[in-house]
Structure formats: structure tokens, C-alpha cells
Amino acid sequence: MDTLRTASRVYNRAAKSNNASLIRPNGSKADLVYKIVSEIPSGKVMTYGQIARIAGVKNPRYIGYLLHHNPDPEHIPCHRVVNFQGKLSDAFAFGGYWEQAKRLEAEGVAVKGDKENMVELDRYQAA
């Protein structure tokens, strides 16, 4: 129930915003996913599964597919999306996990782990 309210709120805000061009008249799932990602605050992350639930997408891998084909990386910060464990993407479309880590750290998100590829979800996950 809360997930549906969140998706509805995000979609309605997108429709009224200056970036409404991200949502085509048919309101596709891809447009909603891009809008949700565009609203992840700096210094926070969301998981593929979290975005999938909000957008009503059954498979979180579809979120990864969409973000790998990000049409507007300047306004759709796909570096703020991690897996369910907080792990960064090895296949980050714009330079591997080290580039994703660099962008997150520039926003104040601490990246840790043996290969510096994890974030603490309980600390940085957007609600």
C-alpha cells in the first residue's frame, strides 16, 4: 500500500515538474523508473528491488537494464542505485564500480569493502 502511494506521488510530481518530458503521455514503466531514480537525493542510494517495487516492475534486473541504457545521465543519477546488499555494480555503464564509488563518495556516501564496492544500506538507503 505504501509502495503504491509512493509511486503515485512520484508520478504525479513528475507530471507537474519541469522534467515532465521524462514521462511520455502513455506513462510507461521506463519513464517512471527514470523519474524515481532522478529523485534519489544526493548522498542516498536505492536498490534495484526497491525501485522495481515502487514502479510496479516484477524483475529488478529490468531496472538494471534500463539504467544501463540511461538516456540522460546528467539528470538520472544511476550511480545512486545498488543491489539488495548495497553492492556497487561491476558493470556500471560509465566506468565500472570504481567510477560509481567515486561519484557516491563525492556525494558523501562512504564506500567500503575489500574492493571498495559496498555501501551501508541502513545508513544511506533512501526511504
Q: Where are the domains of the chain?
A: 2-124
Separation of alpha carbons 91 and 104, rounded Å: 16
Q: Which of 33, 55, 63, 78 is catalytic?
A: 78
- The H-assigned helical ranges of 69-116 are 96-106
pTM check: above 0.85: no
Is residue 109 part of the annotated active site? The answer reads no
Burial of 87 (0-12, 13-18, 19+ CB in 10 A): middle
pLDDT in tens, the chain (127 residues): 444 455 545 545 544 444 444 444 345 899 999 999 999 999 999 999 999 999 999 999 999 999 988 999 899 999 999 999 999 988 766 777 888 999 999 999 999 976 658 999 999 999 8
The CA dihedral of 58, 2, 7, 53, to the nearest 10 degrees, is -20
Q: What fold does the segment set 2-124 form as a domain?
A: Arc Repressor Mutant, subunit A (1.10.10)
